[in-house]
């Protein structure tokens, strides 16, 4: 019998499962064998038997969960074909964070691609997304509404630098997720010529060191020392999003609170978080890039894992592409990634 897409990928309680390969992809529960697309906590969890992932993702998991995060680990080199059970798998860059990969699963000329999270916008901290032609494309839809178009990140970083120039006595506290976003903001600041130190909240130190060891130049990034906070006039300080509102950030001289996230396109969210300077910088695809990517893969069928699934499924229908929402639970809701399943009405979106 010829191989069908459903032999290559199906849905179980633990998440996406390949029956012929006998493995899960980004399972939300501990499983015997897991293939992991990237290190964000909603995709990469501790406690699996065997884990197959890129070397960078394995390192990120070890930093976050300790060296014993699984029983046995195997490195996947980008582009290399690997036999797993009765299928061939190949990891390809996803352009999302350091080490992020799409996973192509193939047999008898039928190919399914699980993209994990991905973006097409340039990112100096990781390899660019690679289009992998396939029959079935599995996509997220964090920003799956036509109102979501992300601006050029350089303009956003320039806004930050202009504010620093305008208010040299104030500290600029930038909320950014500890894996990926923070390091991308640092790299973008360096590209725009900021050569002074970028001060880090302690929670960002380990992953930033890992990025540097993996060859991403981020310059001088000292950890903030408690006693020095009040003296950091005109400094740029990066911290986890949860810290921009707490006491920690108030110890700086007259802080300007900033937040780097695709959700900053939604003005109400910025207001709600008390963000003075929203920076629209996203590690996910915006609506035009979701649509472009689906077209680029040539897939005849699309499964949408999480986010604003319905609009993207509808769009696929208008293009003659079969599509279904998977309503996967456990993705995008742990505070690590940018989105939650909260609806964002068009009215909320900043002009």
Residue of 87, 139, 117, 84 whose CA lies nearest to 299? 139
Residue 117 binding Zn ion, by CB under 5 A: yes
- Rounded to the nearest 10 degrees, how much is the dihedral formed by the CA atoms of 252, 256, 262, 267? 140
Residue 216 near residue 179, CB atoms below 8 Å = no
Closest distance of CB 118 from Zn ion, Å: 9
CB of 142 to Zn ion, least distance (A): 7
Q: How far apart are CA 18 and CA 132, in angstroms?
A: 18
Residue selected from 24, 33, 40, 170 as contacting Zn ion according to rule CB under 5 A: 40
Q: For Zn ion, which stretch binds (CB under 5 A), given 54-62, 123-131, 198-206, 335-343?
A: 335-343
Question: Are the C-beta atoms of residues 17 and 114 closer than 8 Å to each other?
Answer: no
Counting contacts by CB under 5 A, is residue 123 touching Zn ion? Answer: no
As a whole number of angstroms, the distance between CA 117 and CA 32 comes to: 23
User: What are the CA-CA distances from residue 255 to residues 91, 167, 229, 234, 275 (Å)?
Assistant: 43, 10, 11, 9, 11
Closest CA to 39 of 188, 187, 203, 211: 211
Q: Give the shortest CB-302-to-Zn ion separation in angstroms.
A: 17
Among 307, 337, 338, 344, binds Zn ion (CB under 5 A): 337
Q: Which is nearer to Zn ion, 117 or 286 (CB)?
A: 117
x-marked contacts with Zn ion along 272-311 as a string, rule CB under 5 A: ----------------------------------------
Tokens 């996910």, located at residue:
284
Q: How far is the CB of 38 from Zn ion (least distance, A)?
A: 6
CB of 100 to Zn ion, least distance (A): 7
Stretch that binds Zn ion, among 130-138, 201-209, 254-262, 337-345 (CB under 5 A): 337-345
Placement of tokens 């930033």 in the chain: 208
Residue nearer to Zn ion on the CB measure, 119 or 265: 119
Query: Residues binding Zn ion: what is the number (CB under 5 A)?
Result: 4
Give Cα 114 distance to the centre of its chain.
Answer: 14
- If you ran DSSP here, which 8-state letter would residue 343 be given? -
The label of the residue with tokens 């014993």 reads 68
For Zn ion, the closer of residues 57 and 221 by Cβ is 57
- Least distance between Zn ion and beta carbon 347 (Å): 26
β 70-75/48-53 pair status: parallel
- Residue 131, CA distances (Å) to 38, 75, 141, 303, 324 in order: 17, 22, 17, 17, 21
Q: Please state, as a whole number, how many other Cβ atoms lie within 10 Å of the Cβ of residue 31.
A: 21
Sign of the torsion formed by the C-alpha atoms of 311, 181, 187 and 267: positive
Give min distance, CB of 42 to Zn ion, in A.
5
36 counts as binding Zn ion under rule CB under 5 A? no
How near is the Cβ of 181 to Zn ion at its closest, in Å?
A: 10
Stretch that binds Zn ion, among 127-135, 145-153, 215-223, 333-341 (CB under 5 A): 333-341
Window of 28-36, 116-124, 129-137, 238-246 that interacts with Zn ion by CB under 5 A: 116-124
Q: Residues interacting with Zn ion, by CB under 5 A?
A: 40, 117, 331, 337
């Amino acid at each position: 019998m010829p191989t069908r897409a459903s032999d290559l990928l199906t849905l179980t309680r633990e998440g996406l499962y390949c029956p012929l390969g006998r493995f899960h992809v980004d399972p939300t529960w501990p499983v015997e064998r897991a293939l992991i697309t990237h290190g964000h906590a909603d995709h990469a969890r501790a406690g699996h038997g065997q884990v197959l992932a890129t070397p960078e993702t394995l390192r990120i998991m070890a930093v976050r969960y300790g060296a014993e995060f699984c029983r046995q680990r195997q490195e996947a080199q980008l582009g290399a074909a690997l036999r797993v059970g009765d299928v061939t798998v190949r990891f390809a860059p996803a352009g999302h964070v350091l080490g992020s990969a799409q996973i192509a699963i193939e047999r008898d000329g039928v190919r399914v691609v699980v993209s994990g999270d991905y973006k097409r916008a340039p990112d100096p901290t990781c390899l660019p997304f690679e289009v992998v032609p396939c029959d079935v494309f599995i996509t997220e839809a964090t920003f799956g509404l036509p109102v979501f178009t992300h601006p050029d990140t350089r303009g956003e970083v320039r806004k930050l630098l202009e504010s620093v120039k305008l208010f040299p006595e104030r500290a600029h506290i930038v909320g950014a997720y500890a894996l990926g976003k923070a390091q991308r903001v640092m790299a973008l600041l360096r590209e725009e010529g900021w050569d002074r130190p970028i001060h880090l909240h302690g929670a960002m130190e380990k992953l930033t060191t890992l990025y540097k060891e993996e060859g991403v130049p981020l310059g001088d990034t000292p950890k903030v020392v408690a006693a020095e906070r009040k003296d950091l006039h005109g400094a740029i300080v990066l911290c986890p999003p949860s810290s921009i509102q707490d006491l920690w950030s108030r110890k700086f001289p007259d802080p300007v609170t900033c937040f780097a996230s695709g959700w900053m396109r939604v003005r109400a969210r910025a207001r709600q978080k008390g963000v003075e300077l929203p920076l629209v910088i996203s590690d996910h695809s915006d609506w035009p890039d979701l649509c472009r990517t689906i077209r680029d893969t040539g897939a005849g069928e699309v499964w949408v894992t999480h986010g604003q699934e319905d609009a993207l499924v509808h769009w696929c229908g208008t293009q003659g592409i079969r599509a279904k929402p998977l309503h996967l639970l456990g993705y995008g809701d742990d505070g690590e990634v940018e989105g939650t399943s909260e609806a964002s009405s068009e009215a909320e979106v900043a002009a």
